[in-house]
Amino acid sequence: MTGQEVLLRERRGSVGTLVLNRPEKNNALSVGLLVDLYQALNEWSADDTIRTLVITGSGEKAFCSGFDILSIPTNLTPQMEEFLKDHNPLDLVFSGIKKYPYPVIAMLNGHVFGAGFNLAVCCDIRVAADDIRMGMPPARLGLVYHPEGIKQFAEALGMARTREIFLTAKTYGPHEIREMGLVHHMVPRMELADKTYGLAEVIAANAPLSLKGTKRIINMLASAVSFRQEDLKEAETLINAAFNSEDLKEGQTAFVQKRKPEFKGR
């Protein structure tokens, strides 16, 4: 892994691609990768010639397996270290994708779990290979997911689907993914790149002001529903209670031991 870039940037005409490049970790989101993503989104959002953005993962096993809680940030500038003291890197990236001025397509080349699933739903369009699996496991681990993330799922998939995804904590296979509408397009793996970039090029050929204006208005509509301050305080209490619970320890142990957890509600 030494010397390997964790984020690759590619450019094809008006279409830019960001590749999560940690295949040995199933492209899990390390702090370093998140910082690189945040900076790339900021830089490319100022480039009016990149009119569609594709985000994908390296390899064929995983698009993104979630957040790498054991990752240790390296090579951060003092300014970035100071900045991250007051900003959650996951929130920065998810917000950066949603606010990116042009359409963003998630090309799901492999399994999608946890924060990787959250990243995918923040994209405007999701195109998937027909052999992937998707899931949101916090309830199986004893965690309460953060409210803004749940809101992002509800915006992309609707309240009913969001309830099922989080309350069951199931892993969904290709048939269920298609049936539930978790992705916009699902194609054989060999056709994934052609389908994604064909769609990206159709979008990028449209009028720039129309693309930016339409995405901005859709984001305005999404932001019309927001949490009250008292709701966020209550949510923080619920998250902390789960984080300090015996059930969290049991969920983590069961996950490592590959067994069904025995939760006690405390």
Query: What are the angstrom distances between the C-alpha of 211 and each of 55, 157, 159, 205, 234?
Result: 18, 21, 26, 10, 37
Q: Choose among 219, 197, 257: nearest CA to 10.
A: 197
Q: Choose among 155, 156, 150, 122: nearest CA to 138.
A: 150
Within 8 A by CB and 6+ apart from 29, the residues are: 20, 64, 66, 67, 68, 71, 90, 93, 115, 116, 119
What was the pLDDT predicted at 250? 80
The answer to which of 74-78, 126-130, 217-221, 238-242 has the lowest mean pLDDT is 74-78
177-188: per-residue pLDDT in tens? 999 999 999 999
- Average pLDDT of the chain? 91
Domain ranges of the chain: 7-191
d(CA 216, CA 5): 32
Fold of domain 7-191:
2-enoyl-CoA Hydratase; Chain A, domain 1 (3.90.226)
Q: Is 183 left (phi over 0), alpha (psi -120 to 50) or beta?
A: beta
pLDDT tier at 232, thresholds 50, 70, 90: confident
